[in-house]
Chains A and B, each alone.
Chain A
């Protein structure tokens, strides 16, 4: 009888504790990689944790809430202009420490060392510069997960890889008719 009670208590304890045995073992493995590695791997935000847990395929009932939370993370330039300077946009686009966009996307036709994981952005400007196009482009660049949960495309704005103003410059690089991405 007493044994049963202890066992029940133990099971309840495991059930109610924050961390299961697998999670505890996993965290120990992360720590074996050293402090800096473990710190970044353990600092997942809610979105990253959900994408990891569901192997990048969220259950349908979680998607609306996920998209709304991601949308709420988007910040806009103080001056309200979502289309900035394409010349600076090209620098952010190309910089491996900021946009690093050529890793996955084709851009200016002369650049041949582009990745193929994302769609080609050459001539992206053919969509025109109507307000909904500009707004979609801005928000997609700032936080891709506000549109496609757990996409490969990272949330560069959310993580501060580029500022809201630089995001507007990236929008201009994609949409400005003068941008080399749209030149024929």
Chain B
């Protein structure tokens, strides 16, 4: 599917969302946000025969097979299970990669391989492209069991850094991840349910958020969280994102959690 066609479709879809969202907030009683998301999802399927997330998957697929300056496509990148293997890789990331000697999540790995394998300069790499490619690769782990088990010393170090970040209280609102996502898991912030890592927090990204009409990856979602607690968002592909992701998904792994349908459709 061409990119132009994707944007036209998204535009139409956005109009529908906007109308639906108006009705949603003007209700007398608050709707359950997950029920509302499922209702919206159904509406998209019936109206357009396609979900917005699938459009990002299509775009990501095109970009995955696009040749970079080196003449190579991303088929030449090892995403964790060997070159060209995409099935289930998202479920085992972040992990340690011997070639870069660091722990990388999927988004960072895409960003790395676009440089080291495909020969792009960092300034040539568009965030939207990394998001689309990430979504395409993640779609091969739809509903997969999360399997993030830190073993390599670098992975264990990342887990410990992630746990430290998780408990760090900072900023003008005295917040940390833990103070809501551990102590008050199961409660709501306004209408949004809050989950703990053991309850599977993070298992729905990448997802299309109909309220924002945008695709959010795990890193986007972490940034959104930091911004909402008055802490400036960390820059993409940082150790902050990778460490927090290792911590959350390792805890979800211990609790036997699985990913949702990826890309997910949410509020």
Binding site for B on A (CB under 8 A): 22, 25-26, 28-30, 32-34, 36-37, 39-41, 43-44, 47-48, 51-52, 55-56, 102-104, 112-117, 145, 150, 152, 154-155, 159-161
Contact between B169 and A115 (Cβ–Cβ < 8 Å)? no
- A44: chain B residues within 8 A (beta carbon): 168-170
The dominant DSSP class at the B interface is loop
Question: With the chains together, A41 CA to B189 CA distance in Å?
Answer: 23
Provide the B163-198 mask, 1 if CB < 8 A to any CB of A, else 0.
011011111111110111001100111110010000
CB A23 to nearest CB in B, in angstroms, measures: 9
CB B93 to nearest CB in A, in angstroms, measures: 18
Q: A40-B170, A55-B178, A154-B175 are in contact. Are A32 and B231 (CB under 8 A)?
A: no
Contact between B178 and A56 (Cβ–Cβ < 8 Å)? yes
Q: Please tell me if B226 contacts chain A, counting CB pairs below 8 Å.
A: yes
Question: With the chains together, A86 CA to B241 CA distance in Å?
Answer: 42
Q: Please tell me if B238 contacts chain A, counting CB pairs below 8 Å.
A: yes
Contact between B173 and A33 (Cβ–Cβ < 8 Å)? no
B interface residues, tally (CB under 8 Å): 42
Contact between B243 and A29 (Cβ–Cβ < 8 Å)? yes
16 residue pairs of the A-B complex, CB under 8 angstroms, read A22-B160, A37-B231, A37-B238, A41-B231, A48-B169, A52-B168, A56-B176, A56-B179, A56-B183, A113-B25, A113-B190, A115-B187, A115-B188, A145-B174, A154-B172, A159-B172
Q: How many residue pairs, one in A and one in B, have C-beta atoms under 8 Å apart?
A: 114
Most buried by A among B165, B167, B170: B170
Contact between A32 and B184 (Cβ–Cβ < 8 Å)? no
8 pairs of A and B residues whose beta carbons are closest in the complex: A33-B234, A36-B232, A34-B235, A154-B174, A33-B240, A159-B172, A29-B239, A32-B239
Most buried by B among A25, A102, A152, A160: A152
Contact between B240 and A112 (Cβ–Cβ < 8 Å)? no
- A113: chain B residues within 8 A (beta carbon): 25, 30, 190-191
Contact between A37 and B240 (Cβ–Cβ < 8 Å)? yes
- A103: chain B residues within 8 A (beta carbon): 189-190
Interface residues of B in 21-37 (CB under 8 A from A): 25, 27-30
CB B5 to nearest CB in A, in angstroms, measures: 36
Contact between A52 and B172 (Cβ–Cβ < 8 Å)? no
Q: Please tell me if B233 contacts chain A, counting CB pairs below 8 Å.
A: yes
- A104: chain B residues within 8 A (beta carbon): 189
Q: A29-B240, A41-B231 are in contact. Are A161 and B188 (CB under 8 A)?
A: no
Provide the B22-56 mask, 1 if CB < 8 A to any CB of A, else 0.
00010111100000000000000000000000000
Binding site for A on B (CB under 8 A): 25, 27-30, 157, 160-161, 164-165, 167-176, 178-180, 183-184, 187-191, 194, 226, 231-235, 238-241, 243
Contact between B30 and A29 (Cβ–Cβ < 8 Å)? no
Most buried by A among B171, B187, B188, B190: B190
Nearest B residue to A103 via CB reads: B189
Contact between A25 and B161 (Cβ–Cβ < 8 Å)? yes
CB B236 to nearest CB in A, in angstroms, measures: 9
Nearest B residue to A28 via CB reads: B239
Question: With the chains together, A25 CA to B161 CA distance in Å?
Answer: 8
Contact between B190 and A102 (Cβ–Cβ < 8 Å)? yes
Q: A40-B171, A152-B184 are in contact. Are A114 and B240 (CB under 8 A)?
A: no
Q: A25-B157, A34-B234 are in contact. Are A51 and B191 (CB under 8 A)?
A: no
Most buried by A among B179, B226, B235: B179
Question: With the chains together, A22 CA to B157 CA distance in Å?
Answer: 9
Question: With the chains together, A52 CA to B179 CA distance in Å?
Answer: 10
**Which of A34, A112, A117, A161 is the one whose CB lies under 8 Å from B28?**
A112
- A28: chain B residues within 8 A (beta carbon): 239
- B189: chain A residues within 8 A (beta carbon): 103-104, 115, 117
Question: With the chains together, A174 CA to B161 CA distance in Å?
Answer: 41
Contact between A52 and B169 (Cβ–Cβ < 8 Å)? yes
Most buried by A among B178, B189, B194, B233: B189
- B27: chain A residues within 8 A (beta carbon): 112
